[in-house]
Structure 1
């Protein structure tokens, strides 16, 4: 039975103009994730990353720890939804200056629910049905490439992972709008692929941020 490890990227630069890059904390989180996967002695035959900088830098850091010289294959289907576009079309538009993460999350939650409810009628460049389709297609293709007992790792984002987890549990919208809320930066979600299809084995593992590494735990 093969396994697919979905890794949420490290902390990005929330509140800054250039959000799509890792903070210093995010870089440290990548090191911890790399050490954790090294501890598990997992070998990967397929390695994927979205095309976003925060995803690719996390991949680079983790793979360096694993001693993998070949970079992750870039596949934009693993990219996060465009939160700026979603907020502009279904939320508050321009957010208040200096808004804290909790306030931001509340606004984003409402916008995502409206985005999902709007379906194909959403004015966003990418609708919820289109996002769901590309994410599911990316996963299906990856699963098809794995042989018996082979593993894959994907460096992606919270919305993607939450949606996939929700899909496997029967409701992708709940995964996007509810599971995504509790995901930590550098969290590990594990899927298994067998004769009965793909199943969710674990979600948002983050014990690697316990103890001395607890200072590195972050949600946004």
Structure 2
């Protein structure tokens, strides 16, 4: 049975002029998750990433520690929702100053985004986001041979939405699971005759013990 490992990107640069850039901590996290994947001894025949800088840099750094030679296939459908656009339309464009305060504003904005459905004012609506996440996963599954494994570097919203969809509760996946995804957390899906199933969510043992200082959520 094949498996798909969804890895959330390392910590981005919250509050900086360029959010879409790994922080120094994010690069450390990416190295550690790569080493953890290497420890598992899984051979990945396909490696994918979104096109955002934080996703691409996580992929490059983790692959180096993993020792994986498979080329990275970039696809913008693995990209995160546009939190700036959603906040602008549903939260009045909340500034990124205090992480905890901003999380509350973003939670409310995402709830309104989901409730707005196809009629929402954002460039990408919630139904459109959910559809593209499901489509890129379906395409990846279709590209894998029997027993092959894939590694994907993406974002919390994508992972939460897909996990929720596989459990039959996509909205809860976005609004609840997304909120607790850790940077470089690993979510494992299995693919076989019974379709795609969620086997584990947000694994982060590589960020415990001696590396506990690396744990972050944004």
Contact (CA 8 Å) 1:50, 1:78: kept in 2 or not?
yes
Gaps of 5+ in 2: none
Measured in 2, the distance between the counterparts of 1:183 and 1:71 equals 26
Q: Per the alignment, in what secondary structure is the counterpart of residue 44 of structure 2?
A: coil
Q: Per the alignment, in what secondary structure is the counterpart of residue 202 of structure 1?
A: strand
Q: Which residue of 2 aligns with 1:38?
A: 38
Measured in 2, the distance between the counterparts of 1:31 and 1:37 equals 10
Contact (CA 8 Å) 1:209, 1:217: kept in 2 or not?
yes
Q: Per the alignment, in what secondary structure is the counterpart of residue 112 of structure 1?
A: helix
Measured in 1, the distance between the counterparts of 2:69 and 2:146 equals 24
Measured in 2, the distance between the counterparts of 1:177 and 1:166 equals 9
Instruction: Give yes or no for the alignment of 1:71 onto 2:71.
Output: yes
Contact (CA 8 Å) 1:92, 1:107: kept in 2 or not?
no
Given the two structures, how large is their TM-score scaled by the length of structure 1? 0.97
Measured in 2, the distance between the counterparts of 1:171 and 1:89 equals 25
Q: Which residue of 2 aligns with 1:161?
A: 159
Q: Which residue of 1 aligns with 2:7?
A: 7
What aligned pairs does 1:1-220 form with structure 2 within 5 A after superposition? 1-95=1-95, 98=97, 100-220=98-218
Given the two structures, how large is their TM-score scaled by the length of structure 2? 0.98
- Shift of residue 115, structure 1, vs aligned partner: 0.4
Contact (CA 8 Å) 1:60, 1:71: kept in 2 or not?
no
- Shift of residue 70, structure 1, vs aligned partner: 4.1
Contact (CA 8 Å) 1:5, 1:190: kept in 2 or not?
yes
- Shift of residue 71, structure 1, vs aligned partner: 3.4
Measured in 2, the distance between the counterparts of 1:163 and 1:115 equals 13
Gaps of 5+ in 1: none
Q: Which runs of 4+ in 1 moved over 2 A?
A: 68-71
Q: Per the alignment, in what secondary structure is the counterpart of residue 124 of structure 2?
A: coil
Aligned length: 218
- Shift of residue 69, structure 1, vs aligned partner: 3.4
Contact (CA 8 Å) 1:166, 1:172: kept in 2 or not?
yes
